[in-house]
Chain A
Amino acid sequence: MSETTHDGSVAVSAPPSPDEGLTAAQLAAKYGLAVSGARPSLFEYVRQLWDRRHFILAFSRAKLTAQYSQAKLGQLWQVATPLLNAAVYFFIFGVILQADRGMPREVYIPFLVTGVFVFTFTQSSVMAGVRAISGNLGLVRALHFPRASLPISFALQQLQQLLYSMIVLFVVAIGFGSYPKLSWVLILPVLVLQFLFNTGLALIMARAGAKTPDLAQLMPFVMRTWMYASGVMFSIPIMLKGKPDWIATVLQWNPAAVYMDLMRFALIDGYDHTQLPDHVWAAAAGWAVLFAVGGFVYFWKAEERYGRG
C-alpha cells in the first residue's frame, strides 16, 4: 500500500496524499468502514439476538429479583402477590357480585383465578413493553446490543412471574376439586403460545412507546377494556345469551380469551371442550405466530432509530 511510505510517527494534521480528494463515503468504502449504528439484516439481527440470550435471561431474572429485594419477606412476595390478588377477585366477584351466573362454585373459583392470572400475564407484558425502550434510554444510549433484547427480556420476566402464580393456581385448582390429570400437560403448549403472542405484542408496543411515550398513560385504559371484553370474571357465552351470536364469537376468538379458555380447559375438571369455540388451538397458534413474527419484524424495522431523544 502506498501509505507505508509515511514514517511510523503520527502525523495528524496532514492527511495522506493518496486519499486526498476522496469524499468521506469513498474513503470509508476504500478502507472497508461500515456506517456506525446501521440496522443489520433480519438474519444477522436474529443471530446477534441469539448471541445475547444469556443477557436477555439474566436481565429478566435480575428485574424479577430486584422487585422485592427491599421487602422483609423478600422473594416470598412472588407467590404472595398473586395469592392476594386471587383472594381479592374471589371476594368481589365470587362473594359480593356473584358473577358466576349458575356456574358451580368448584368450577367458578378456579375459572376466575385462571382468568386473572392469564390475563395479567398479557397485560403486564404490554405495559412493560411500552416502557421497554422509553424507560431504558440510559441503557440504550450507553451500550450496544440488539434493542429487541429489552422487550423480549421484559416479556420473559412476566413469564417467570406467571410461573410463580401457577403455584397458587395449582393450589386453588386442587382446593376446589380439580386434581392433576393428563390434561394438565396441555398447560405447557398454552404457556409457550401465549408467551410468543405476548412477546410479539411487547415488541410492537416497545416501538410505539419509543416514539410516543404517552402510550404508557393510555394503555391501562385500553387494557382494562380488553380485560372486561375477554371474559376474565364471567363466561362469555353465558353472559351474552340472547345477544346476536357474532358478538360472543368475536369476543371468544380474541387472543386473550383464547389463551384463558385453553388454560381453563387444561386445568379445571368441570370445564370441558363444549365450552370452547371451534378450532381454538388453531387460533391460539395463529395469534402466537402472527404476533411473534409480525412484532419482531416491525420492531427490527426501526432498530437504528431507538435511542434518539
Chain B
Amino acid sequence: MAEQRADAHIPTVIADELHIVYRVNGAKSGKGSATAALSRIMKRGEERGVRKVHAVRGVSFVAYRGEAIGLIGSNGSGKSTLLRAIAGLLPPEKGKVFTDGQPSLLGVNAALMNDLTGERNVILGGLAMGMTREQIKERYQGIVDFSGINEKGDFITLPMRTYSSGMAARLRFSIAAAKDHDVLMIDEALATGDRKFQKRSEDRIRELRKEAGTVFLVSHNNKSIRDTCNRVLWLERGELRMDGPTDEVLKEYEKFTGK
C-alpha cells in the first residue's frame, strides 16, 4: 500500500469499548490474618480473596496516522494502563484494540539488572526490545555517549547498582530511546536527570516522534502536552471524559483541576 504520510485519516489505533481489570491477590478488605484468609476460602468458592480493580471502563477512540495524542487525567485515572493495553501488554477484560504494526512503549527498565555492568545492560536492554546484535553493536557507542555516563570516568564497566539514581535513569532512557518505533508511547517522567540531560532527552523524543506514525504521550505537564500534542484524551476514573483538540480539552481540564 502506497504510504501517504500527509493523509491524516488512515487509522493506526482503534480502541473499541475497552475494559481493563486488574486482579489483586490478598487485598480483599477485612482482616489480613491467615484465619481470615481461610474463612474467606471456605465462604465463597471462586473469589478467594481476589479484589478486582476496574482501571479502564469502556474507552473507545480512533487514532490516525500523524497524530500526537496526549493522555491527561489525575493520578490513578488509568492513563498508563490504557497505554499498556494499546501496546497489547495488558490483556483486555472486554473490548478490543486494533493496531497497525506493533506499538511499543518507550521504556526498558524492567529488563535491566542492577548487578550487571552498564555495558552488559545496554546489550541486554537492546535485545529485550527486539534489536539484533548487529544493530546494538552499531548503536552502542551512540547510546553510551548520549547517556553521558562516561563523562566522569569509565562508569559503563561498573555494575549499575553503583550508579547514582540520576545516572541510572539516564542510561535507561538512552537505551530505550535507541530504537525506532511505528506507534510510539511515552509515559510521563521520562525526562529525568540534570537540566542538560533533560534538554537532550526532549530533543530525542521530538526526533522519535517525527519518525513514528502515531505518538501517545502521558504527562502531567500541561505545557509539554500543549507543545507536542494536537489531540488530547482526558481520562477520569477509567472513563473517557473528553476527546478533542488540545486547546479545548486542556481548557476544560484546567477548569476541572482548578488552575
B-binding residues in A (CB < 8 A):
1, 3-4, 6, 8-13, 15-16, 19, 23-25, 27-28, 31-38, 51-52, 54-55, 58-59, 62-63, 65-66, 69-70, 136, 138-145, 213, 304-309
Contact = CB atoms under 8 A, between A and B. Distances in A.
B116 A69 contact: yes
| Chain B residues touching A, range | 35 or more
B69 to A, nearest CB: 9
B207 to A, nearest CB: 20
B89 A62 contact: no
A279 to B, nearest CB: 42
A308 B22 CA distance: 7
A6 B10 CA distance: 12
Nearest to B99: A36
A35 B133 contact: no
Given A33-B14, A37-B88, A143-B105, A62 B120 contact: yes
B258 interface: no
Interface string B1-31: 1001011111111111100001111000000
A12 B98 contact: no
B89 A140 contact: yes
B258 to A, nearest CB: 26
Interface stretch (B122-130, B147-155, B189-197, B198-206): B122-130
Interface string B52-75: 000000001010101100000000
B104 interface: yes
A175 to B, nearest CB: 34
B87 A36 contact: yes
19 contacts: A3-B10, A4-B7, A6-B8, A8-B8, A13-B245, A15-B62, A24-B60, A28-B98, A31-B11, A34-B99, A36-B88, A37-B87, A63-B113, A138-B110, A143-B89, A144-B104, A145-B130, A306-B91, A307-B89
Contact of A55 (B64, B102, B128): B128
A66 B100 contact: no
B89 A308 contact: no
A51 B131 CA distance: 10
B24 to A, nearest CB: 7
Given A25-B16, A69-B159, A33 B11 contact: yes
Contacts, number: 166
A6 B9 contact: yes
B84 interface: yes
B111 A142 contact: yes
B12 A33 contact: yes
A35 B12 CA distance: 11
B218 interface: no
Nearest to A138: B110
Contacts of B111: 59, 139, 142-143
Contact of B244 (A13, A32, A36): A13
Contacts of A144: 87-89, 102, 104, 130
Contacts of A143: 89, 105, 108, 110-111, 128-129
B127 A32 contact: no
Contact of A28 (B14, B60, B108, B127): B14
Given A16-B9, A31-B10, A4 B132 contact: no
A231 to B, nearest CB: 36
Contacts of B231: 10, 12
Contact of A141 (B64, B90, B115, B128): B90
Nearest to A213: B25
Report, nearest first, the 9 A-B pairs whose CB atoms are least far apart.
A37-B88, A24-B16, A28-B98, A36-B88, A33-B98, A66-B115, A55-B127, A138-B110, A309-B22
Nearest to B60: A24
Contact of A12 (B12, B67, B84, B115): B67
